[in-house]
Amino acid sequence: VKNPDLIDRLPNIYIGNNFQLISLDVISFFTNIPIEEALVCIEHIWDDISHSCDVTKNEFMLAVRFVLRSTFFKFNNKIYEQTHGILMGSPLSPVVADIFLRDLEKKALNLLSYRPAFYFRYVDDVAMSLPEDEINNTLDIFNSFHPRIQFSVEIGVNNCLNFLDVTMIVVNNRIYCDWFHKKSFSGRYLNFHSQHPMNQKRRTIISLIDKAFLLSDPVFHKKNIEFIVDTLLRNSYPLITIFKVINQQVKYLIKKNKNNSSNQAKQDQDSGENASYFVLPFYSNISDKFNKITRNTNIKVAFFSENKLNIFIKTHKDPIPKLDNNNVVYGINCLNCEAMYIGQTKRKLKTRISEHRRNLNMKTKGQFVITDHCLDYNYAFDWDKIRIL
């Protein structure tokens, strides 16, 4: 379940007087998933998988097992193997994790002696409402399937529980929702004076308005709008811009709620069906003028900022040595003239460089331009300062 689905379902749920809101969370989920048990869960749903799979069951399971067992990683220039769980960051891991947890929760729910008022899960976070005296027993059931898969529990306080971006509040046996901000919320958004297109700044305001209205009950709208205005002012947005965009977006949301959503989606799809899209770097004044030129054409232009966080914030991953890179275009300068040899290779760069140097030592002409240049003029290339272009 995601935020919109949660908001749609909660108002129709009745919460009994002795029921409590709780959330369950798997402790270190990905790195504790037992691979063999996960493979069994995948086999159980083979009938569903086979409709969109061209290989046999045995071939498919062999491939999945190989990928899940390939848990090698590099740290401080040493190769390690992860002995438990599945790899974080692997495209296959979220799919396998969901299949495994769907199987586990199905077994757990079948063992409960009661029927929860509701049960929602997003990845490994679960929210449910259950009799207050069944909390400990329910936690024991969920923790009983595998010693490495253990859930922690958070019990709602004052009939309130935070789940995803929503605070669920029980009043008179009904659930009301409000927009939730984590304790780590900094209030920092794209600053109005930053070097970004105006459209991206407008989208910042629009996204906040959508959350304020779509994730909360109408009784909380006024409070959330005031919060948005205060937050945007602290990010240097002019008051006139804030109210202009808020007014436009609120009108749009009201109109969208009245209109048929499927017709609206079809219109949006038709409007951009034959458009050509281009992505360009953003430069103030220049990009705005270019945007005006293409506005009445069938060309859609999106801009990006060249100042990205990864320029200023470096990850802690071990850098790949230059010569171990593959799929690169590289350049080597001549030490005796201004010539530069430019080549490309799909293999590791060190393999390609070894070929160059071997051909040069063997004085093999006609295979590489770099070899011919050295032999024809008795020149040498700077092998110690190879550049990846």
- pLDDT tens figures, 202-212: 999 999 999 99
Average pLDDT over the chain, rounded to an integer:
89
Higher pLDDT, 40 or 273: 40
Residues in a beta bridge with 361: none
| Residue 189 contacts residue 232 (beta carbons within 8 Å) | yes
pTM of this structure: 0.76
- Model confidence at 310, pLDDT cuts 50, 70, 90, reads confident
CA distances in angstroms from 179 to 173, 219, 251, 253, 270, listed in the order given: 20, 12, 20, 17, 33
Nearest to 342 by CA among 354, 355, 328, 362: 328
Q: pLDDT per residue over 193-230, tens digit each?
A: 988 888 899 999 999 999 999 999 999 999 999 999 99
Instruction: Report the C-alpha gap between 17 and 35 in whole angstroms.
Output: 41
| Residue 27 contacts residue 151 (beta carbons within 8 Å) | yes
* Range in 14-23, 135-144, 225-234, 279-288 with the lowest mean pLDDT: 279-288
Residue 143 has pLDDT above 80, yes or no: yes
Identity of the highest mean pLDDT range in 69-83, 112-126, 257-271, 316-330: 112-126
- Chain position carrying tokens 């009301």: 176
Residue 356 has pLDDT above 80, yes or no: yes
- Model confidence at 260, pLDDT cuts 50, 70, 90, reads low
Instruction: Report the C-alpha gap between 33 and 41 in whole angstroms.
Output: 12
- Chain position carrying tokens 């990006």: 304
3-state SS assignment for residue 327: coil
Supply 301's token pair.
């232009």
| Residue 126 contacts residue 120 (beta carbons within 8 Å) | yes
Instruction: Report the C-alpha gap between 103 and 69 in whole angstroms.
Output: 21
Q: What is the model's pLDDT at position 273?
A: 59
Higher pLDDT, 74 or 219: 219
Torsion angle in degrees (nearest 10) through CA of 108, 109, 111, 117? 140
3-state SS assignment for residue 314: coil
Q: What is the model's pLDDT at position 262?
A: 47
Higher pLDDT, 241 or 317: 241
Q: What is the model's pLDDT at position 300?
A: 81
Instruction: Report the C-alpha gap between 64 and 55 in whole angstroms.
Output: 12
